Amino acid sequence: MEALAKHVEQLAMTADAAARQRLLITLRDLAYSLEDSNDTLNRIGYLHLQMAIVRIGFDMEIFQFMAKTETAVSVRQLVEVTGADPIFISTATVLSVDAAPSYMADNAGRCMIYFATVGAVKETGEDMYFANSVTRKLSEKMTEAGICH
């Protein structure tokens, strides 16, 4: 699998815009062909949540901060930089599930986990996240403007 991924990366690096677009479409179609009905439902049915949480990331300047760093960012750092409630950013180390009211333990603190789930950041460990290529693209003002127009 790794050899295949490296081959695709090599193709992408040498491709012009049209070839890169064909590669993206082929890979998308391959990924969709591997989905079961539940995967398709979740991918399409929850798209509005991706838009909402990305807009929150813009408002909190999470992508801009992460794109500037060269190392993984801790939830504690994100809380300090954004001024966000630690429960909103992540529950893993900030809030013990046993100590939290059940509605918080089940629903709160999923911001960074959700970003990682949709590929907007890379989770590198418990409460540790790294900027990936999507993070960097989301940190650009033009991308933000296009999404928030």
Q: Domain containing 108 — which CATH number? A: 1.10.10
Residue 128 pairs in a beta bridge with 74, 125
At position 110, the amino acid (one-letter code) is R
Q: What is the mean pLDDT of residues 26-43?
A: 95
Residue 9: inside a domain: yes
CB 75 within 8 A of CB 112: yes
Domain identity same for 9 and 69: no
- Whether residue 109 lies inside any domain: the answer is yes
Residue 93's closest CA among 82, 72, 79, 103?
79
Q: pLDDT tens-digit profile of 104-138? A: 333 334 788 889 999 999 999 888 899 999 999 99
| Cα(95)–Cα(109) distance, integer angstroms | 9
User: Looking at residues 8-32, what average pLDDT do you find?
Assistant: 95
Any domain includes 115: yes
Q: Does the residue 114 lie in any domain? A: yes
Whether residues 13 and 58 fall in one domain: no
Place of tokens 């046993």: 98
> Which tokens in the block code for residue 69?
């760093």
The answer on 122 and 77 residing in a single domain is yes
Domain total of the chain: 2
Tell me which residue range forms the domain holding 14.
2-34
Q: Are 64 and 120 in contact (CB under 8 A)?
A: no
Claim to verify: residue 88 and residue 132 sit in the same structural domain = yes
pLDDT at 91: 56
Is 12 found in the same domain as 80?
no
Cβ-based burial of 89 (10 A; exposed 0-12, middle 13-18, buried ≥19) = buried
Strands 73-74 and 122-125: unpaired
Q: What is the per-residue pLDDT across 53-106, written as a single tens digit (0 to 9) for each?
A: 899 999 999 999 999 999 999 888 888 888 887 777 765 444 444 444 444 333
Give the amino acid at 22. Answer: R
Query: Is residue 42, in this structure, part of any structural domain at all?
Result: no
Check whether residue 77 and residue 17 sit in a common domain: no
* Cβ-Cβ contacts under 8 Å for 52 (sequence gap 6 or more): none
